[in-house]
């Protein structure tokens, strides 16, 4: 026979807390549960440098940004230490060139892009760097 407070018996079902639940309400009477898929989706978007407000807009399922922040805190996700950034889409070929150039300088590809972008933006060198390569071509008159 197992005693009432024995660790082998565990908590009664009504007192067990799921690892992705957050007690809600003034008296904390109801719990909000997330599936592993939802938790993974939120983790993915946080990893893509999205804020809790952005995640709320992406989910569009009634989850508030405050709830996302509370779960980030509960899960101890170190988002404060993560740098907010911008994702840059590169072709595999451009990525390989970037890695080679950064490697020659002994820095990471991310740091290389950060430095180049910083110089281009601060010194207003966009036109000099792109040399009209990405400018819209005027349409021919019909």
Q: What is the pLDDT of residues 94-133, one digit of tens each?
A: 999 999 999 999 999 989 999 999 999 999 998 888 888 8
What total of structural domains would you count in the chain? 2
Answer for the pair 31, 18: CB distance below 8 angstroms, yes or no: yes
Classify residue 141: in a domain, yes or no: no
Q: Tell me the percentage of the chain whose pLDDT exceeds 70.
A: 70
Domain housing 52:
17-75
Answer for the pair 120, 112: CB distance below 8 angstroms, yes or no: no
Classify residue 86: in a domain, yes or no: no
């Amino acid at each position: 026979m197992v005693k009432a407070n024995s660790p082998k018996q565990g908590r009664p079902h009504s007192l067990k807390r799921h690892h992705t639940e957050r007690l809600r309400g003034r008296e904390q009477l109801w719990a909000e549960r997330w599936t592993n898929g939802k938790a993974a989706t939120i983790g993915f978007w946080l990893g893509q440098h999205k804020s809790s407000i952005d995640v709320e807009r992406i989910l569009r399922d009634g989850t508030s940004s405050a709830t996302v922040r509370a779960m980030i805190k509960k899960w101890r996700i170190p988002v404060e230490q993560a740098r907010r950034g911008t994702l840059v889409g590169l072709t595999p070929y451009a990525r390989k060139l970037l890695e080679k150039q950064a490697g020659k300088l002994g820095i990471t590809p991310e740091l290389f892009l950060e430095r180049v972008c910083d110089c281009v933006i601060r010194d207003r060198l966009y036109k000099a760097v792109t040399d009209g390569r990405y400018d819209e071509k005027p349409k021919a008159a019909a």
